[in-house]
Structure 1
Amino acid sequence: MKGSPSLNNPRIRALTNWVFLRKAGGKNRRRIIPSNAVFPEVWELERRFPALQAEVDALLASRSIPTYDTFDPQRAAQVSEEWKLYYAYMFGNTNELAKKDCPTLLSFAQSTPRVVNAFISVLEPGVELPSHQDPYAGILRYHLGIRIPSKNTPRIRLADEYYQWKEGEGTVLDVSLEHEVTNESDEPRVIVIIDFRRPMGPLADLLNRFCLWQKRKYAPQFVEAAKYDVMH
């Protein structure tokens, strides 16, 4: 499937975003949100953090993680062609390799109905994600620190607020707002990211489910990318 799930149907997306953001509080919506306030289910994943961290460490030691431009070159050109991402789960599609590579993350995604995407994000030293915003407002994004440099610790700017990652600590970000990050340390910043459906009223949630269901056709190009990039 060619194309980008982030850039398809711009007119329809603008209309649905208006609905979602109105339900979320508009310009007054929260930027950085405690996970227990909007995504309490993730406690189950945080409880299993030692196993998750060990699996991600083993994955990074054995597999070369594909860059964003491998599976979504249109969006990567706007954000970063050097950002490395390993998708375990996307729009209901499972990366079969994840059953071995990161079973803790995959099992959580598969068993949690509100999860849309679950992936590992690696930002190498010197890599920048310049100011941008997620073009789809129907999700919120959970970040969990896996390996965070202790010197020049990276942080993310989200509108006018900042968040600095910590290993084993998670938070929720509204990435429909403008945000940016640069890794100025000498080590990779590794986190797990989980996108989940934004809490909204039943009608808005139904619309959101339909929009996300339509995006399922793009999932294979994301989950398949990991299969062709193995260290030897």
Structure 2
Amino acid sequence: MKGSPSLNNPRVRALTNWVFLRKAGGRNRRRIIPSPAVFPEVWELERKFPELKAEVDALLASRDIPTYDTFDPQRAAQVSEEWRLYYAYMFGNTNELAKKDLPTLLSFAESTPNVVNSFVSILEPGVKLPPHEDPYAGILRYHLGIQVPTDNPPRIRLADEFYQWKEGEGVVLDVSLEHEVINESEQPRVIVIIDFRRPMGPLASLLNRYCLWQKRKFAPQFVEAAKYDVMH
């Protein structure tokens, strides 16, 4: 199907977001969070960083990675049509190609129950993501630097705080807050992103699981697009 998991059911989403953010601390919730505090499971992936980086480097050398508008043209028009993404895992659906392309990332996603999505994110030189908020507040987003330019390093602004990526370093971001990404370097910025369920109380967590289950119908358009990448 062609639609947007980011833009569907706006009234329901507004209500569930209110519940989730209230449980998360409202306006006082943390913006940039050390991963051990909320996502300790990711240590298993971080210790395999050399293997993961080698897989991502090989992926970029062998495939033309599609742009965001290939998967979600409605949301891409709001964020960026130049942002390039390779989805290994989306709402519980596996990209079969990732078994060969990104086995380390895929294995972690499939074996970690609170993981929702996992993908590679590429911002080419000069590409920016303008100020925006993630429309669904039931997730937190983990970033792991894979290729980070050292000249004029790219960074992300999250509300009133900034984070500058570093190769091999992971961090958790609350992207329900306004954020923007700036890459003024002459090299691409490549990171691995993992969305995971926001830690909350039992009732809010149950509601979150149900909402994310409802979004599974959008998964094929994200994982299928990667299967038709043009080979170099």
TM-score range, shorter chain: over 0.9
Aligned residue for 2:74? Answer: 74
**Match for 1:158: what amino acid?**
L
Aligned residue for 2:138? Answer: 138
Gaps of 5+ in 1: none
- Supply the distance in 2 between the matched residues of 1:82 and 1:230 (Cα, whole angstroms): 17
Q: CA deviation at 1:229?
A: 1.4
User: Which string of whole-angstrom CA distances, capped at 9 and with x for unpartnered residues, describes residues 147-205 of structure 1?
Assistant: 00000100000000000000000000000000001210011000000000000001000
- Supply the distance in 1 between the matched residues of 2:133 and 2:204 (Cα, whole angstroms): 21
Q: TM-score, normalised by structure 2?
A: 0.99
**Match for 2:180: what amino acid?**
E
**Match for 1:92: what amino acid?**
G
- Identical pairs, percent: 87
- Supply the distance in 2 between the matched residues of 1:133 and 1:142 (Cα, whole angstroms): 15
Q: CA deviation at 1:228?
A: 1.2
Aligned residue for 2:122? Answer: 122
Q: TM-score, normalised by structure 1?
A: 0.99
User: Which string of whole-angstrom CA distances, capped at 9 and with x for unpartnered residues, describes residues 129-164 of structure 1?
Assistant: 000000000000000000000001000000000000
Local SS of the residue matching 2:78: coil
**Match for 1:207: what amino acid?**
L
Aligned residue for 1:147? Answer: 147
The 5-angstrom pairing of residues 102-121 of structure 1 reads: 102-121=102-121
Structure 1 segments (4+ residues) deviating >4 Å: none
Gaps of 5+ in 2: none
**Two-structure CA RMSD over aligned residues (Å):** 0.4
**Match for 2:15: what amino acid?**
L
Local SS of the residue matching 2:194: strand
- Supply the distance in 1 between the matched residues of 2:124 and 2:224 (Cα, whole angstroms): 22
Local SS of the residue matching 1:176: coil
**Match for 1:65: what amino acid?**
I
Q: CA deviation at 1:61?
A: 0.1
Aligned residue for 1:203? Answer: 203
Aligned residue for 1:54? Answer: 54
**Match for 1:25: what amino acid?**
G
